[in-house]
Amino acid sequence: MSELSNYHTVYISPHLDDVAFSCAGSLLLEEQKPLSITIFSDAEPENKKQAFVKRQQEESVAAVRGNYDFLFAGFNDLRNTKNARYFGLIWGEMEPHLITSVYEYLQKIVEQTQAKKLIAPLGVGRHVDHRICYEAVCKLHSNYPELEIWFYEDRPYSFPVYSTEVRLVELGYSVDVDYGMYLESLSKVRYMSHRNNEKKLARCRQHVEEISALSNHKEVREVQYITNHNLPQIWNIVSAYASQVKFFIGNEQQFAAECQNVALRYNKEKYAERRWRLF
């Protein structure tokens, strides 16, 4: 890693697209230029490398449009992890050595940038790489308790109603969930309509059975809503990821409709991002 300049705020993107998809509204409101780091920015199989070069170029376009600096950590996406299926909802097991490596990498970043605030993925949707980032950031908190850490809701995984709450329950937090509404909403979301829909839904039903039996007591420290009604500018960042947007998000109208649904759930208009301070 070459010398980095100072950044007050650092965003963490598990993949090439997550921060653009999930945080475009807040990026546009940053007063000082933030840094966004993509952790799994490379691919292991040789035949996939070219697609990742394209996605890295898309990140550079998104960064100009969103006025942020970017960095690629160079960890490999598309690994052959146990049970991992790299589409839609992912249920792979986290590799412990990767949590440690990502943690050590982030530690260097925090030291070099003198960051005060970290905006990290909550891991809604259970993608193994998102959960690895979440765990690495939690580890970071133990060594840097003064670091202000906020977790963003991973889009598009957080589009179905109660999907964020399901993740919070899984993490031991005491929040209300309507599991029936969650499963119904999940079955209709765009990324679930591709490949193995039934298999994925069955796995989600099983997951609900597992977590609905938990009796949690942990309380969330703080919730923040970031509203930004400049949808054309937000879409400009999201759509920089031309190779990903069609599959995961759809077109501008579909994106606006999903965002509107989410915002209404928060009692906001048009567009809002919700962030969680857990500790």
CB of 38 to Zn ion, least distance (A): 10
Residues in contact with 50: Cβ distance below 8 Å, sequence separation at least 6, in sequence order = none
Burial of 46 (0-12, 13-18, 19+ CB in 10 A): exposed
Residues within window 18-57 making contact with Zn ion, judged by CB under 5 A? 18
Find out whether 141 and 149 touch, Cβ atoms under 8 Å: yes
218 pairs with which residues across the strands?
173
86 vs 144 by CB, closer to Zn ion:
86
Q: How many Cα atoms are found within 13 Å in the side-chain-facing hemisphere of 279?
A: 17
Answer yes or no: are the C-beta atoms of 182 and 163 closer than 8 Å: yes
* By the rule CB under 5 A, 59 interacts with Zn ion: no
Helix, strand, or coil (residue 36): strand
Site for Zn ion in 176-235 (CB under 5 A): none
Name which of 15 and 167 has its Cβ closer to Zn ion: 15
Shortest separation between residue 101's beta carbon and Zn ion, angstroms: 18
| Residue of 12, 246, 34, 20 whose CA lies nearest to 155 | 20
CB of 211 to Zn ion, least distance (A): 21
Give whichever of 22 and 236 is closer to Zn ion, judged by the CB atom.
22
Binds Zn ion by CB under 5 A, chosen from 4, 10, 14, 191: 14
Residue nearest to Zn ion (CB): 15
Choose, by CB under 5 A, the member of 7, 9, 11, 15 that binds Zn ion. 15
Shortest CA distance to 163 belongs to which of 120, 192, 193? Answer: 192
Binding-site size for Zn ion (CB under 5 A) equals: 3
Shortest Cβ 130–Zn ion spacing (Å): 6
Nearer CB in complex with Zn ion: 26/158 = 158
Cβ distance to Zn ion smaller for residue 15 or 200: 15
Least separation in angstroms between residue 79's CB and Zn ion is: 14
Instruction: Tell me the two tokens of residue 108.
Output: 């260097």
Least distance to Zn ion, CB of residue 151, Å: 14
In the complex with Zn ion, the residue whose CB is nearer, 4 or 43, is 43
| Cβ within 8 Å of residue 31, ≥6 positions away | none
Judged on CB neighbours under 10 Å (0-12, 13-18, 19+), 260 is: middle
Task: Tell me the one-letter amino acid at 74.
Answer: G
Contacts with Zn ion by CB under 5 A lie at: 14-15, 18
